[in-house]
Amino acid sequence: MAATLDDYEVIATIGTGSYGTCKKIRRKKDGKIMVWKEMEYGSMSENEKQMLVSEVNLLRELRHQHIVRYHDRIIDRNKTIIYIIMEYCQGGDLASIIARHRKDGTHVPEDFAWKILIQTTLALKECHRRKNGKAVLHRDLKPANVFLDMDSNVKLGDFGLARVLHHETSFAQTYVGTPYYMSPELVNNMSYNEKSDIWALGCMLYELCALTPPFTASNQSELNRKIRIGDFPRLPPQYSMELDMMIRKLIQVEVAKRPSIGSVLADALIQSKMKILN
Ligand SMILES: CN(C)CCCNS(=O)(=O)c1cccc(Nc2nc(OCC3CCCCC3)c3[nH]cnc3n2)c1
C-alpha cells in the first residue's frame, strides 16, 4: 500500500535547502517523527527526472547506521512535487553546532571531534563501497549535510540530491554557497574522486575544531590559490597534536599522498579511539 500525504501530518518547517523545503512530520499510524524533503520537479526535463528517479533509488539502497535512513517517497502529480521521507535527526546539523560555538566563543570537545571523524568516515566507506559498480560519491560533504541523532551519532544526509541539483534548469545551479571544501584536483578541473571526499572530510573536521574553514578568501580565485598551496593554521591550542596531524593527513594537496577511507580507518590511533566509542 503506497504511502499518501494524509498518512502524515506536518509539524514544522525545519528549513529550506538548495533543492526545496525540509519539514518535520509525524506519521499518523504510530506517531513516529520523521522529515520529508519537498522537491518541485515540474521544471525538470525528462532526463533530469530520470536522474531524480535513479538518485532516489540509490538513496533507498543505502542502509547504514551513519547515513540518514530513507523511508519512502510520495509523488503529487498535480503539484509536480516529490516528497522524500527520511529519518529525523534530533541533534540538528553540524553547521548549526559550529555557528553556536562561534557565537559563544567556545570549542567542541576533542572527543566529539574524533567521534565525528570516525563516524563520518564509516558513512563515506559505505558510500564508496561499489554499489553494483557505481560508487555513490558524496560530492557535497559539508557541516550542513552532517546531522546528529539524539545521542550525537553522525547521520550523513542529503547526498545524491546534490547531484540532481546540478541540472541546468534549477536555481540551485547558481552557486548558493562558497565551495570552501573544493579539493585541489577539482580546482585544477581534474575529475572528482573518492579522495576528494577525504579532502572535504579533513576540511570539515578542521572547521568543526577551528570554527572556520582551513582556506578562506573573499573571491574564488584567491580561494583556489590558497587551496592549491594547501597551507593553513594549526588547530587552536586546546586540541592535541595527534588530531592536528590526522587532519593534516586528510587535507593533503597531493591526491596520492592523501589517505584512502580504508587507511584512515586502519590508523592505529583511530582504531584505539573506535574502541572507546563503541
Ligand atoms: C540550515 N541550518 C544551519 C539550520 C536550519 C535548521 N536547523 S538544523 O540544524 O538543520 C535542524 C534542527 C533540528 C532538527 C534537524 N533535523 C533534520 N534536519 C534535516 O535537514 C535539515 C534541512 C537541510 C537542508 C537545509 C535546511 C535544513 C534532515 N534531513 C534528514 N533528516 C533530517 N533531520 C535539523
Crossing angle of helices 241-250 and 194-210, rounded to 10° = 150
pTM listed for this prediction: 0.92
How remote is the CA of residue 242 from the centroid of ligand 1, in Å?
A: 31
How remote is the CA of residue 156 from the centroid of ligand 1, in Å?
A: 12
Round the CA-based radius of gyration of the chain to a whole number and report it: 19
Is the CA virtual torsion 181, 107, 35, 76 positive or negative? negative
Which atom in ligand 1 lies closest to the alpha carbon of residue 34? 31
Contact 74, 86 (CB under 8 A): no
Is the CA virtual torsion 100, 90, 35, 179 positive or negative? positive
pLDDT of residue 169: 47
Contact 143, 98 (CB under 8 A): yes
Residue with CA nearest ligand 1 atom 26: 15
How remote is the CA of residue 116 from the centroid of ligand 1, in Å?
A: 17
Q: Can you tell me the distance from the alpha carbon of 139 to that of 263, in angstroms, rounded to the nearest whole number?
A: 20
SS3 label, residue 154: strand
Residue with CA nearest ligand 1 atom 9: 92
Among the options 6, 93, 140, 231, which is catalytic? Answer: 140
Stretch 30-55: mean pLDDT:
93
Residues 77-132: tens digit of each pLDDT: 999 999 999 999 999 999 999 999 999 999 999 999 999 999 999 999 998 885 54
Residue 221: what are its φ and ψ, rounded to 5°?
-70, -35
Q: Can you tell me the distance from the alpha carbon of 95 to that of 107, in angstroms, rounded to the nearest whole number?
A: 14
Q: Three cell numbers at 37?
A: 524533503
* Any ligand 1 atom below 6 A from CB of 147: yes
Residues 230-249: tens digit of each pLDDT: 999 999 999 999 999 999 99
Residues 258-268: tens digit of each pLDDT: 999 999 999 99
Stretch 221-238: mean pLDDT:
98
ipTM: 0.89
Mean pLDDT of the chain: 91
Catalogue the E-assigned strands of the chain.
Answer: 8-16, 21-27, 33-40, 70-76, 81-87, 92-93, 146-148, 154-156
Residues 149-188: tens digit of each pLDDT: 999 999 999 766 656 655 554 554 445 678 999 999 999 9
Q: Identify which of 147, 154, 155, 159 to mutate to test ligand 1's pocket (most ligand atoms within 8 A of the CB).
A: 147
Is 111 catalytic? The answer is no
Q: Can you tell me the distance from the alpha carbon of 78 to that of 230, in angstroms, rounded to the nearest whole number?
A: 50
pLDDT of residue 175: 54
